[in-house]
Structure 1
Amino acid sequence: MNTRKYLNPVGVSKYTGLLLILPFIIGAVLFIIYPFVCSFIVGMTDRSGFAGFDNFRNMFKSKDFLPSAGVTLKYTALLVPLKLTVSLLIALLLNTELKYIGVFRTVFYIPSILGANLSVIIMWQYLFTSEGLVNQLLINAGLSPVSWYGDHDAALFMIVLLRLWEFGSTMVIFLAALRDIPKELYEAAKVDGCGSIRAFFSITVPQIKNVIFVNLILQTIAAMQEFNAPYMLTGGGPLGKTRTVGMLIYEEMFTYGNEGMANAISWTLFVMIAAVVAALYRLTARTRRDIQ
């Protein structure tokens, strides 16, 4: 029996596979590898020419980078757990077969479509002004109003709330994972007298542990690259206490015209993200193995 014609059908060249992936290779070289290399080269230059690693050394000596890195890490630590928790809870609520459930799922996803555009920012600024709706609700509840733009912790939390409101994409991923869990598992658990809370931790969490990890990584990467929300809401204030590394890169590039420093900070942010993701992978590896 001649197996050659089955392994290599007539008319299919041995270069066919290479030709099929050639567009991806070209795109990766032009839009990923080439910008990476150019960014690193520019990061080693200043206005006078080649500067070696001076930009990287001066970056850590400056008064702006370390505080911005601290704000970025604090913002990420606040936002990501809250966003994952809210997204999972909403996904659990929407994982039902109620009438018009599709309408509710669409409504909950709308904030993610709107994003941090200008109209949403204006609405958010109005809500959190000294006499805005949020402070009025606090006063009516017998609490003291908050200076959202004057207190750096309150300002950062206001930005976190804006991004928390945009939980739709994370919710959709959780919802897809929840709908893939076999219903027979819950039926068997119910027969054995298992309650809803026990079923959540014994069935739901083990079944979606990999999806939780994926969402954790995606949201961490997105949070550490944050720029739009603090830039449009607070401008980095008060006194730079909400300036993220992304904002610092923008200021160095477009305010001060320091391309070398901006690219050096960009590469440092890339290393920071890689280190945090690697740490999360190591920290959650045992947990993901144990949850079976």
Structure 2
Amino acid sequence: MIDRYIYAVTREMPEKSRQEVALELRELINGKIEGKEDTLTEDEKIDQVLRELGEPKELANRYRGKERYLIGPKYFYKYLFVMKIVIISIIIGISVVSGVGAIFSTESIAEVTGGYLFTLFSAVLQGAAWVTGIFALLEYNEVSVETKKEQGAWEPSQLAALRNEKALISRGESIFAIIISTLLLLFFFFLYEKIGIYYRVDSEFSFIPLFNIEGVTPFKLIVFLIFTINILVELIKIIKGRWTLKIATIITMLNVISAALFIDVISNMNIWSSEFVQRFEQYMPISFERMIFLTTVVIIIVTIGESVSALYKGYRYGKKFKITQE
């Protein structure tokens, strides 16, 4: 029970101060236990001491010295971590897209460089603003939840169990997914007219576009939403850090929405270049529409598989653990 209480307090603290606070708090608890009457059992002494110290989040607030932040210590180190990921992803994405675009551009080097720097600066500012806004909302909502809990008396039995390492979500996979999603998003928005099949005939290169430029335009907002949802899913994984049923449910809902939107986009034949469709059906044993149908089936199967896996992990590892922050 003592370990669970200390864990509940220190998980609300900045990472660099957790060990020091844990040692100090353990010493405080042990000292208070020794001062209790000998007629009480050990469990009764511990229960009384923890009740005297109060709810872990309130005690953590007292250690921190203040309770309200735009982005408080609880989220700040993850805020910096996510900010780095987003900025690095944007820099990589803009650099790659600008480099590929420069190959097809007729502008001077100075114009290309100026456009690259302006786009990069604007994208980094927007990315930073979005990340800050998301974490500010997390901080605000956390305070609101705590206010509701204050209506009832805190009980030591409410303490979350100690962290299960198997419940942790891989950061590496989420970082990789964010970088790939950012690259694909930027490629689609800035170079979609250059995506297709390049082939050489008589020492000259020819090109068959994948997309119908006029047909793609109405779907740009939906495509942006799809990639935004995918990136948001990975950010949630990084921010929360471990599986719970609530997180698994949210991620499943977002994945289903993303998959449904993606299927809706690719099923519309207007977005595909007629020349590409003709060449595809000329050399492939199935029709293009059949290929889209099979792709849709694969997307549905993968989405169901990911959803079942997420919900299973959320139920298995989350039923004994509250959402915690590393």
- Structure with higher RCO (Cα < 8 A, 6+ apart): 1
Q: Same fold (TM over 0.5)?
A: no
TM-score (norm 1): 0.29
TM-score (norm 2): 0.26
